[in-house]
Amino acid sequence: MNYGMIPQTVIDEVLRRFDIADTVGRYVHLSKNGKYLKGLCPFHSEKTPSFTVTPEKQIFHCYGCGKGGNVIKFVMEMEGESFPEAVKRLAEEAGIPVNWAPIRDDEASPRQKERQTLHEAHAYAAKLYHYLLRNTEAGKPAMDYLRSRGFTDKLIEEFGLGYAPARWDTLVQGLHKQGFEAAEMERGGLLSRKQEGDGFVDRFRDRVMFPIRDGEGKVAAFAGRLLSDGQPKYLNSPESPLFSKSRTLYRLHEARASIRRSRQVVVFEGYVDCIKAWAAGVTNGVASMGTALTAEHAALLRRFAEEAIVCYDGDDAGQAAARKSIPLLEGAGFRVRVSVLPGRMDPDEYISANGGEAFVREMIDGAVSAVKFQLIYLRKSHILLEEDGKIRYLREAVRLVARRDSPTERELLLKELAQEFGVSLDTLKQEVLEVRKQEKLGDTGDIPGGSWNNVWNEKRSSSKLPPLTPAYIQAERQLLSWMMQDTETAELVQSRLGDGFYVEDHAALAAYLYAYYAQGHEPDIGRFAAYLQDDRLERTASAIALMEIPFGEREFEDCLRTVGRMSLTREIDRNREEMQRAERAGDHMRAAQILTEIIALEKKRKEW
């Protein structure tokens, strides 16, 4: 396998040094369950643990989303890194010398080459914009603007802020001098095609520039705030090979360590709010750059945190966006709280008016629970001075409370409502009971759909039993499980079956196992997973490795017979199709030859 010049000895040493239970335990709370460890999967939303770690085999597998592999694969998934990057991260942590050669240009794929070129171009653009802001007369208005917004020199440097001049070709010329192709820079989002005639122009003009970094910490896009009059006031880079708005969060790379330590993330709407909060001490803050929070954003953040605090603008639009973000975050498994900013302020304005300490104390530490925020938001649509308004509000509030999982939380919320409106607590409890019966919530269980949790309702589980796995597929999986544990078993299967597996992925795994043992490797599921270097095959291998049927000669022969017969059945079917084609074409001699082959195969199938 080609790992980009990483010596196999380094990969083996990384796998030896890092126990999968310890490494996974940094990200996931694991509980002992026999010889397994179980926890909530960090890669998808779930209420019942289906994520399994097997220390004995040094692998992980999630029965919910199917992800699985060894410790290197886990780090790749958690950190969004490639195989070489994950090995490098672990090797450096363990003090293993990182001295292998990087992938040469002639080894890189066209996609890798394009990404590398675009990263280099974005790095150049970021340096150019920063220089123009700090060192030119053209950048002075932008610097004055930033100073008026409370940006210090330290913040400007730390966040790499810059300025794109009002000219049409500042970056066009700079990129050209650096040898970058204009058409490729347009695909990367740095330039735009002229609306009339040929050629290209700068995409960002007369804007304060905010570099956006990807998971590796490299500049992958920009956000620009217009200084002059015009629209749009805020402009982000378009979708590109480096940048996807629905999967990218401003400052996540820099905030990741703080988020992990606190197991908490603060979500802002814009980059200015995020920067000013950072200066106030909120180092676990990220921003969706003015775009709506997505399910992909929520799933990405859930890898690092358990609690999310939504800190959006205090105006109607900001509070409506906060309301919409709650089901997304709760659907990803977050415990959600919301900051309620007074007087329609945004976070930046609150910090400027009240200071950083007050912001952290009142808006972050003092953020209210998701259901409290929902109740506050609900009040705005009812006139509580009127009797009808109170009744309608209480009915909708009861529905919100009824959808909470925790009986204790429901009890406390109902007590507050009863006390505030002078209603009997028992009456409210009865209404909650009715709602839970109507919506089939039960006493415990997952959060249902409804207006606040429609993420949970997208794929309701069916009451039907899962379809039975065909016997030949089960037999193939069982053979592969035994093959992973024993070299001689793999050699026996190779001599008897070869590549005669029906399922394509099973045939591929068998071929890899034959090659793996031929190279002198001993059975080691974690090492074999690293050998595969294919996401789908690693998932399949990790699932098969967890099978626990003891080896027996009779069971082994039964599996061989089942798979062998299925392989012959498939070959017979293919020959019959070919015979029919020959008959339709009038080639009766060829049809007769194929019939002879079919008779021989059927005889062989009976002998299995």
Domains and CATH numbers, the chain: 8-94 (3.90.580.10), 110-236 (3.90.980.10), 252-376 (3.40.1360.10), 381-439 (no CATH), 471-607 (1.10.860.10)
Cα distance between residue 164 and residue 170, in whole Å:
8
Query: Which of 503 and 274 is assigned the larger pLDDT?
Result: 274
Please give the structure tokens belonging to residue 238. Answer: 């378009």
User: What is the model's pLDDT at position 350?
Assistant: 96
3-class DSSP state for residue 484? helix
Residue 303 reports pLDDT greater than 80: no
User: What is the model's pLDDT at position 3?
Assistant: 47
User: What is the model's pLDDT at position 444?
Assistant: 42
DSSP tag of 445: S
In the structure, what pLDDT confidence band is assigned to residue 220 with cuts at 50, 70 and 90? very high
Residue 478 reports pLDDT greater than 60: yes
Give the phi and the psi of residue 33 in degrees, each rounded to 5.
-140, 85
569 to each of 495, 507, 594, 601, how far by Cα in Å? 19, 16, 15, 8
Q: What is the pLDDT of residues 105-119, one digit of tens each?
A: 555 668 778 889 999
User: What is the model's pLDDT at position 464?
Assistant: 41
- CA proximity to 531, closest of 520, 22, 54, 21: 520
The answer to whether residues 330 and 453 touch, using CB atoms and an 8 Å cutoff, is yes
User: What is the model's pLDDT at position 162?
Assistant: 98
Sheet of strand 368-369, all strands in order from the earlier edge strand to the far edge: 285-287, 264-268, 307-311, 335-338, 368-369
Exposure of 200 by Cβ count < 10 A (0-12 exposed, 13-18 middle, 19+ buried)? buried
Q: What is the pLDDT of residues 515-564, one digit of tens each?
A: 888 888 888 888 888 788 777 888 888 889 888 788 888 888 888 888 88
82 to each of 93, 273, 491, how far by Cα in Å? 17, 32, 33
Residue 449 reports pLDDT greater than 50: no
Q: Is the dihedral of CA 405, 407, 412, 414 positive or negative?
A: positive
Residue 451 reports pLDDT greater than 50: no
User: What is the model's pLDDT at position 461?
Assistant: 37
Cα distance between residue 61 and residue 268, in whole Å:
33
* Share above pLDDT 70 across residues of the chain, in percent, rounded to a whole number: 92
pTM, rounded to two decimals = 0.61
> Strand 307-311 vs strand 335-338: parallel, antiparallel, or unpaired?
parallel
Average pLDDT of the residues in 58-74: 89
Give the phi and the psi of residue 199 in degrees, each rounded to 5.
105, -175
Cα distance between residue 256 and residue 302, in whole Å:
11
Name residue 10's amino acid. Answer: V
Q: Nearest 5 degrees, angle CA 525-CA 527-CA 529?
A: 70
Q: Is the dihedral of CA 139, 140, 143, 144 positive or negative?
A: negative
Average pLDDT of the residues in 343-348: 93
* Share above pLDDT 90 across residues of the chain, in percent, rounded to a whole number: 37
